[in-house]
Structures are given as structure tokens and as C-alpha cells.
């Protein structure tokens, strides 16, 4: 995967940093305080999607992200500053909480904040840390949903970020805002290939001709969409999200894609044949960021 896609910043730690931090230190009796820490990242960056861009939660310090059980006996994702341990985000992990791999080192997380869905990006130091975070988040969400000893919020109560962090849980009853606008950006330059469709009784590959392939990433969701066009006008696949288990490298330069139609209980299989093995790998790894839903 493309390491350059990482959002991790450099030189955000160290003495003498004076960036403004909106948060506070929680006491043991606070509803957001940790009773049990199930997972804690190494120093990292955390961003929030605001005004069509990723903005850092903390300007000049690293953060820790904790997956914790609070004294309210609920599961939350918390973000604390590295040096002062001030809490800048603490939100419940609920059924609607989602996460996905946005790059080799970055994880995009959507948190239901009652009135709206807010998107955050956890930028870690390497792929191993990102793997550990994804596995821990999956286990944490499963525990939040199915552990009978934990409380499950019926609405989406939230301990919000910054100075507005409440010491008591507030039930959000205001009207929900519109969904967050997603923006698309190309991950790699468009690539040329030959497009095939599997058909017939014996699964023969039928050539559809030369095609132009491009993959684009949605921000802030982190989903990757596939665009495949024949010629200049006809688009065979238009903004398709391919699940990672529907991808298969069938050769150094060949990528098979299975598109499912559950309603009609059928599937369509395409094969993209590229001229370059490097391009094939990039397209495969990019589409593999779409975890199964």
C-alpha cells in the first residue's frame, strides 16, 4: 500500500509546545473515567472531518486512543493528549459505530454523536499498529453489543469533545443533522487494461475490450470506489464498492472481481488484465481496504 497516504504528523511531541488544548482531566468519579482500559494506542494523531477536510483534534501534541469501559459501565472510545493526559474526545461505542482502514496506517471511525454522525481518523505509526487497532476495535464493539454485564445506550448519549465535555450523560433529542458529505479523490492515476466477463456454461472469459480503470477514496468514510469504463462514454462499473472477499488475483497481472446481487441470487464476475504487475497490485490493495460489511 502507499505509505505516503498516511496522515501521521512528525514533530508534534516534545517540551515547549504551547498549542491550545480543549479538554480536561477526569476524576475517578466522573462518568467518563475509565474503569477498565481494553486497548491503548501508542502516541498517534487523531483528526476530525470538518469543512471537507481532516483537522487535528490537538494542534501540537500527540494523542493516545483508548478503548475503555467507563465508570458508567459503558464502552467508549476516548482520546487523550500525550503530555497532559487531557481528554479531548470520549464517545460511546454503539451498534451504529463503524470503522474501516483508510490507508496502511490510518483508521477512519464514525461515531454517532446523537444529533449527527462525526468522523474521526486515527493516524498510527505503522501497519502493525493499525492491524492491532482494527482487531481491538472489532472485539470492543462486539463486547459493547453482546456483553450482558454492560449497559447499552438506547439512544446515542455522548461525552462530547473539548470544553463542552459533560460530567453527566446527556440524552441527545435534537433533530439529526444531514449525513456528512463525502468527497472523492483519486488514489492512483487511471490505468488501462483489458476487461473480461465470465459467462457461458463453462465459465469462459469473454472479452469486452479495452478499458480504463480508476479507484477513488471517499472521505471521511474511507470507502474505496471502483470506476471502469469502455471507450470514452460507456461506463461498465460506476462508483462500485467491492468487498475485499470478492477480489482475487488470478495471475501477476490479472484481477478478478465478483459482484453479488443478493436480491436475484446471482453474481457477475469480471476480470481486469493489466500490462503492469505493479499497477495490478496497487489496484488490488486499494480495493482491499473495503472491509466486509
pLDDT at residue 62 in the model:
92
Measured distance CA(68)–CA(78) in Å, rounded: 7
Beta bridge mates, 196: 207, 271
Measured distance CA(68)–CA(31) in Å, rounded: 12
Same fold, 3-177 and 184-287: yes
Query: Residue 170: how many CA atoms within 13 Å on its side-chain side?
Result: 15
pLDDT at residue 191 in the model:
94
pLDDT at residue 263 in the model:
61
**pLDDT string in tens for the chain (293-residue length):** 444 467 887 755 444 444 444 444 444 445 567 889 999 999 999 999 888 889 998 888 899 999 999 888 889 999 999 888 888 888 889 888 888 888 889 999 988 876 678 899 999 999 999 999 999 999 998 888 888 888 765 544 444 444 333 333 333 333 445 567 788 899 999 999 999 988 766 668 889 899 999 999 988 888 899 999 987 667 888 888 888 888 999 989 999 998 876 665 677 889 999 999 999 999 999 998 887 55
Measured distance CA(254)–CA(281) in Å, rounded: 9
DSSP string, 88-128: EEEEE--TT-EEEE-SSSEEEEEEE-SSSEEEEEEE-SSHH
CB within 8 A of 130, min separation 6: which ones?
101, 104, 105, 106, 107, 124
- As its CATH architecture, domain 3-177 has Roll (2.30)
Going from N- to C-terminal start, the domains of the chain cover 3-177, 184-287
Sign of CA dihedral 51, 52, 58, 60: negative
Minimal CA–CA distance to 194: which of 182, 183, 186, 206?
206
pLDDT at residue 219 in the model:
87
Domain 184-287 has CATH 2.30.29.30: yes
Taking phi over 0 as left and psi of -120 to 50 as alpha, with beta for the rest, 35 belongs to alpha
DSSP string, 186-254: ESS--EEEEEEEEETTTTEEEEEEEEEEEEEEEETT--EEEEEEETTTEEEEEEE---GGGEEEEETTE
pTM: 0.63
pLDDT at residue 161 in the model:
45
pLDDT at residue 239 in the model:
86
pLDDT at residue 262 in the model:
63
CA 1 to chain centre: 15
Please give the DSSP secondary-structure letter assigned to residue 24: B
Q: List C-alpha distances in Å: 170 to 25, 72, 98.
A: 19, 13, 22
Amino acid at each position: 500500500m502507499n505509505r505516503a497516504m498516511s496522515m501521521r504528523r512528525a514533530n508534534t511531541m516534545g517540551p515547549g509546545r504551547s498549542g491550545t488544548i480543549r479538554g480536561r482531566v477526569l476524576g475517578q468519579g466522573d462518568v467518563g473515567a475509565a474503569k477498565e482500559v481494553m486497548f491503548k494506542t501508542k502516541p498517534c494523531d487523531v483528526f476530525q472531518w470538518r469543512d471537507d477536510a481532516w483537522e487535528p483534534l490537538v494542534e501540537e501534541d500527540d494523542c493516545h486512543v483508548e478503548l475503555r469501559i467507563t465508570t458508567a459501565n459503558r464502552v467508549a472510545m476516548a482520546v487523550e493528549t500525550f503530555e497532559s493526559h487531557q481528554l479531548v474526545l470520549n464517545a460511546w461505542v454503539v451498534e451504529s459505530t463503524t470503522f474501516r482502514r483508510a490507508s496502511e496506517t490510518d483508521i477512519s471511525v464514525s461515531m454517532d454523536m446523537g444529533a449527527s454522525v462525526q468522523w474521526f481518523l486515527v493516524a498510527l505509526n505503522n501497519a502493525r499498529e493499525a492491524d492491532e487497532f482494527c482487531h481491538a476495535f472489532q472485539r470492543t464493539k462486539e463486547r459493547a453489543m453482546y456483553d450482558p454485564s454492560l449497559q447499552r445506550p438506547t439512544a446515542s448519549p455522548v461525552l462530547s469533545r473539548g470544553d463542552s465535555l459533560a460530567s453527566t450523560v446527556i440524552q441527545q433529542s435534537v433533530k439529526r443533522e444531514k449525513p456528512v458529505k463525502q468527497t472523492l479523490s483519486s488514489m492512483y492515476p487511471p490505468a488501462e487494461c483489458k476487461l473480461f466477463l465470465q459467462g457461458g456454461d463453462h465459465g469462459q472469459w469473454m472479452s469486452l475490450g479495452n478499458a480504463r480503470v480508476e479507484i477513488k477514496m471517499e472521505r471521511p468514510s474511507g470507502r474505496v470506489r471502483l470506476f471502469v469504463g469502455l471507450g470514452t462514454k460507456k461506463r461498465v462499473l460506476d462508483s462500485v464498492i467491492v468487498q475485499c472477499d470478492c477480489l482475487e488475483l488470478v495471475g501477476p497481472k490479472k484481477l478478478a472481481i465478483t459482484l453479488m446481487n443478493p436480491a436475484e441470487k446471482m453474481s457477475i464476475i469480471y476480470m481486469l488484465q493489466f500490462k503492469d504487475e505493479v499497477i495490478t497490485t496497487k489496484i488490488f490493495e486499494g480495493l482491499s481496504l473495503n472491509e466486509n460489511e
